[in-house]
Structure 1
Amino acid sequence: SVACLQDLWDDMFLRLDGPELLRMPLPAAASPENAKVWLGEWAARWKRPGSGLTTPVEVRTTDTGVSILFAPKTSSFVSAREEKEQETGQGKASPKRLRVGQEGGVQILVEAVPTPRIRARRFAYAEEAPLKEMSEKDILRSLQRDLASWTKNMP
């Protein structure tokens, strides 16, 4: 039917929003509500030192899942060459510091419709912010592994 075809197209175009980085179905035993609770607990681990990410993050729980926002690094290190260039006025102005929520992040959504699933998408990158691909991959790899383990151990 036309409505089913439109729903299929809408779902396919949804992958472009962000863009989408990962899509995984939820097993029948895992309700979207339980998955949201698990996801909130799982995401909190990234805030701790030694989490494995090279980029500091802020984690926010939302109605639809979690947002893992990359935070600006707090290092104020300036190399000797950069310091000399700044003193003589030849160097670039110090780079504009971005705030949390502008350096990008990974938004992980739990959806019940059209089918129960988890989607992860890139979001909140300011135009001049570099992609944090290594951190994104670490988050997604861990999500896949830990979600599989969680659903496998469900009653």
Structure 2
Amino acid sequence: MTFVLRQASLADIPGMHRVRLAVRENALRSTVITEASYVQPMMETGRGWVVEDDGEIVAFAVGNAQTGNIWALFVDPEHEGKGYGRCLHDTMIAYLFACGLARLELSTASDTRAHQFYVQAGWQLTRIDTDGEAFFAIENPL
């Protein structure tokens, strides 16, 4: 088994969206996010990365280099527990901090594995809204 972490391209969007639709936690509840939704945060205001396992996209992340918002970090459920999420996370965070951002932010459903993932990665819980959305922030250590 071979895995590759690389910067995402427009051609990767169908595979990224397939992963996004496959997740069990933080599942899309509407059709608001489409393949077209990836272009702006990935190509215009930020950057995306994918993990390929045997040539198939199995995980991806997208971060906004202007605002510091983490737009997405998802791993196909069939490929969880292999370290792909952490690899994407660390690569994305290093890139965004290298862009000069002082603080990064994200949100995810509370009381999920994603919630725990971010706590373990050093993110600080800033609030939980009435819908159960957990908001996190992390400061640039430099």
Which of the five TM-score ranges fits, normalised by the shorter chain?
A: 0.3 to 0.5
Higher strand share: 2
Structure number with bigger Rg: 1
Which is bigger in relative contact order (C-alpha 8 A, separation at least 6)?
1
TM-score, normalised with respect to structure 2: 0.35
